[in-house]
A and B are shown apart, each in its own frame.
Chain A
Amino acid sequence: MIARRRTRYLRTLAWSWLALSAVIVAFNLVVDPYGYFRLVTIPGINAKKPRPDADVMTIKTAGVRAIKPDALILGNSRAEVGFDPEHAGFRKRALAVYNYSIPGSDIETPWRQLTKDDTSPKPKLVAIGLDFQDFLVDPDADTIANTEPDRPGAWAWLRTRLHALYTLSALIDSIKTVLIQTRPYAATLTPRGFNPMQDYVPIARVDGWHALFQHKAESVARSLATLPKSVVARGTETSPPLELARTIVRTCIRQGTELHLVIYPYHAQLLMLYDAAGLWPAFEEWKRRIADLVATEVAASSGDPGAGKVVLWDFSDFHRFALEPVPAKGDRTVDIQWYWESAHFKKELGDLILFRILEGTNAQDGFGLPLVPGNVDGQIERMRVGRDLFRSNHPDVVRETTELMDKAQAAVRKQNDRPAATIRQ
């Protein structure tokens, strides 16, 4: 009798586990929070997908494979939240676009996506956001870039899908997917890889825009304090990130892809952080070197009728967008039109950028200059004037950014002075 009861216990345990597992796998398969399976789209159940906290590259790669776009938006989080693949300019040119930008990535990611990854071969058009910080290098570090990609094999593909079916995080994300369907301000990722950042709206309402800008400024200051201040390796005219950019340009020219390299429209607060960090000379040198690099590669392909068009766009300046005032601390009444915080611009500003680069229209005077060696010095000088004017008109911002940088640099110095940790086994 006792033995029979024990056997029944074991049988119930085994069948319950199997049944629960089957239900969870089926639920994850149908809801499909990462868009790996795309079996069915049910409004109110799984039409909206949550923005992933991890494995963004894998999820977006699956998106690219499913959509098969003929144009790509590449870059880091600034491109992901700023450039809408549904923009009218793309539609006008009948381009199916995917925002393949990866938050937290540097120039190596677009290089891999374009030169090593066969997910989207030979796109007709590519727009890449260039971030100055990604081009800062230790002048004495190894100048050879890591050119060996980690190609995911069949096992990695299978493991990713199994994780999407039978993990607690997948189950939680599936439940989250169902819950966000009726929430207007959820953190989502569109089917074309765009991050609308709607979750920032209620945060800004409650905490105020000042808090968002200030928090970002603190985090950027901490990051800048640890970065080197050189654009090229010692004794050379180049650096690993510049060489990766060169390979990207060459690849697009060779395969006839129209390439737009976009220097982001940083907010004035961020530009003043660069200034306070002593990075302004490097910022100017970077623009010169990028302009030279693009011009050299374009010139080298001038006789090739099938060569892709390449344009380097500079949207970083003290233009009226970058000068949009940050509301005062505690002010929750004033709204911000163009930025989420100093490092991330809104879709509204991204739309103007896309109009500029896709249609060549310049409705906003001086916003977005095609940068070439012939005009780079003039642009740099113009920006210096803008910076000096900003310094004199906004001493409070200058003081705050200087204090933030001083504090961040002091913390880094303290950390570096710390004695080595004792052995722990």
Chain B
Amino acid sequence: MLFNSYPFLFVFLPICLVGFFAIGRYGKGFGAAWLGLASLFFYGWWDYRYVLLLLASIVGNFFLGRAIARRARTPPGKRLLTIAVIANLLLLGYYKYADFFLQSLAEVTGDQLGLMRVVLPLGISFFTFTQIAFLVDAYRGQAAEYRFVNYLLFVSYFPHLIAGPVLHHREMMPQFDLARTYRAHASNFTIGLTIFFLGLAKKVLIADNLAEHANAVFATSEPKSLFIAWGGVLAYTFQLYFDFSGYSDMAIGLSRLFGIKLPLNFNSPYKAVNIIEFWRRWHMTLSRFLRDYLYIPLGGSQRGRLRRYVNLMLTMLLGGLWHGAGWNFVLWGGLHGSYLVVNHLWSEATANARWRSRTSLSRTIASVALTFLLVSVAWVFFRAPDVPTARSLLIGMAGMSGVALPDALVNRIPVVGPWLEALGVELYLGGTTQFVKTWLWIAVGAFVAFLMPNTQEFMRRFSPALPNPAQEHGHELPTMLRAPWRPSARWAFLTAVLATLSLLSLTRPSEFLYFQF
């Protein structure tokens, strides 16, 4: 069931909410059980057979976690933890990486190996990571014993189940245990609905309109001229941001309706002034997980500079592979790992430079532009179906497949035609509408991403979500619409306009990009 669908919004959600508050009056356990069962129904709507897999994973990890917690920081506990983590990774490996492994093996050996065609259960990457964190913390003695119903709800909680945020038990379990969570509050509905509709608008009014322009360019490995290649890549760059951050906003808003705050997942990542900051703003809960449960256990920055960079590269390569079973994702992770290493080396080399202490708007803009450029280039590998397509796009973006504009467009701009032809710009027939719409939607995406406040800035007076300690406040571009939201009639009307336009766009629900991970 998709958040951006009529059955979810007008049937599932109202029933779920009414049931939660009605049953919750009889006790926290009843309310949590209702929400847990509703979440399993939500998951089963996609494919009921995988509910059993999810339940088996939850039950298994719950009892393993209890057993590990009883042996916290002891060798038997460590052995049990190792077995439990391996079991989780094997499950993930089978469903997500078996065919990738077989195909890679076939390419290396030249043998014809049959693929297993395993269907990837939705959200398996997310619920596996969530539970590995629980097991590790159980071993560390940081996870107290919980009631099963709360654990079931923590893992299966429908707002985050399919595409995150990656939740941490420490921030969720206490909220499930609060009696006030199970009572309806107008403030939660006010804030939750507003955040939800902001997220829905990001998804259906911006991301979905950018999708067709990105898809067309990534569909073939044919050579693409400069503006076509950049048009497709930038369309995807903004599509992915609005799609995923829209989903995260919807998850945060929906959860707030139930009185539960989720952690922030995005903080205007394209406004980042360097790659290090980008990863503190993009998919923040995944970054946190990779840092706490991969980078630091590998040794982090505590074992020398070389080891630090090796750990960074390993973390990013595995982070890339987590996103998808394909070499293009490994390349994407490797590229970001390299960016991070270069960023750290540059920071160290210029740490004492005098200009570092002075900030200026022009330098911030240049830094944001460079970071955005590098991130966009990396998305080529993330989105391209194969390496030849990625190569053709990068060649096009470098201008090595020529520079061309639609003939009809140039015809409508007086004087420019001969000037462009003198510069060697080729003119082609057809595709004018597509070209103009692509760049107009990119302009819309850029305007909102760079110049508008993000959801949590917009809602800043009402603590919309759990704060993230890594949240950056250092370098900020000036934004428009500085007045924050408040529960006034004017904002209610504007939210209703946004809600109406979004609901009008639900006729062809499209899946969220991060469902595939």
Contacts and interface: CB of A to CB of B under 8 A. Distances in A.
Given A6-B186, A215-B430, A17 B500 contact: yes
A24 B505 contact: no
Closest 7 CB pairs of A and B: A16-B496, A12-B492, A6-B186, A215-B429, A9-B487, A168-B504, A13-B492
A399 interface: no
Interface string A19-46: 0110010000000000000000000000
A24 B500 contact: yes
A2 B386 CA distance: 55
B187 A6 contact: yes
A3 B328 CA distance: 51
Interface stretch (B29-37, B78-86, B319-327, B471-479): B319-327
Given A6-B190, A9-B488, A13-B492, A422 B500 contact: no
B430 A9 contact: no
Contact of B507 (A16, A20, A167, A424): A167
B497 interface: yes
Given A3-B187, A167-B505, A20 B385 contact: no
B100 interface: yes
- Choose among B190, B221, B387 the residue with the greatest number of A CB atoms under 10 Å from its CB: B190
A207 B411 contact: yes
Interface stretch (A176-184, A270-278, A368-376, A413-421): A413-421
B189 interface: yes
Given A6-B487, A9-B492, A20-B496, 19 more contacts: A6-B189, A9-B488, A10-B492, A13-B495, A14-B496, A16-B492, A24-B500, A167-B505, A168-B501, A169-B507, A203-B408, A215-B429, A218-B429, A411-B222, A414-B222, A415-B222, A422-B103, A422-B326, A425-B100
B356 interface: no
Contact of B385 (A3, A168, A414, A424): A424
Interface in B286-325: 324-325
Contacts of B430: 215, 218-219
Contacts of A163: 507
B187 A423 contact: no
B341 interface: no
11 contacts: A2-B187, A6-B189, A13-B496, A21-B500, A168-B505, A211-B429, A219-B430, A411-B222, A422-B103, A425-B96, A425-B516
Interface centre among A3, A163, A415, A424 (most CB of B within 10 A): A424
B243 interface: no
Contacts of B364: none
B240 to A, nearest CB: 15
A4 B193 CA distance: 17
A214 interface: yes
A16 B493 contact: yes
Contact of B327 (A20, A24, A203, A422): A422
Contacts of B507: 163, 167, 169
A17 B489 contact: no
Contacts of B503: 17, 21, 166
A175 to B, nearest CB: 13
A299 interface: no
B120 interface: yes
Contact of B489 (A8, A206, A214, A418): A8
B467 interface: no
Nearest to B102: A423
A424 B190 contact: no
A10 B190 contact: yes
Given A6-B187, A167-B505, A422-B326, A12 B220 contact: no
B91 interface: no
Interface size grouping (class) on chain A = 35 or more
Contacts of B516: 424-425
Contacts of B411: 206-207
B491 interface: yes
B407 interface: yes
B412 interface: yes
Nearest to B107: A422
A70 B497 CA distance: 46
State the main secondary structure of chain B at its contact with A: helix
B499 interface: yes
Contact of B387 (A5, A414, A422): A422
A171 interface: yes
A7 interface: yes
Chain A CB within 10 Å, residue with most, of B103, B120, B324, B430:
B430
Q: How large is the interface on B (under 10, 10 to 19, 20 to 34, 35 or more residues)?
A: 35 or more
Contacts of B497: 16, 20
A421 B385 contact: yes
B99 interface: yes
Interface in B74-107: 96, 99-100, 103
Interface string A332-372: 00000000000000000000000000000000000000000
B491 A9 contact: yes
B220 A423 contact: no
A418 B324 CA distance: 22
A126 B99 CA distance: 54
B195 to A, nearest CB: 13
Contact of A9 (B103, B221, B325, B489): B489
Contacts of A12: 489, 492-493, 496
Contacts of B505: 167-168
Nearest to B493: A16
Contacts of B407: 207, 211
A7 B186 contact: yes
Contact of B487 (A5, A17, A169): A5
Nearest to B209: A168
Contacts of A3: 186-187
Contacts of B186: 3, 6-7, 10
Contacts of A168: 501, 504-505
Contacts of A423: 99-100, 103, 115, 325-326
A215 B433 CA distance: 14
Contacts of A421: 385-386
B60 interface: no
A13 B193 contact: yes
Contacts of A206: 408, 411-412
Nearest to B96: A425
Nearest to B387: A422
Contacts of A16: 492-493, 496-497
Contacts of B495: 13
Nearest to B389: A421
B388 interface: yes
Contact of A17 (B324, B326, B499): B499
Contacts of A5: 487
Interface in B404-449: 407-408, 411-412, 429-430
Interface string A193-211: 0000000000100110001
B475 to A, nearest CB: 34
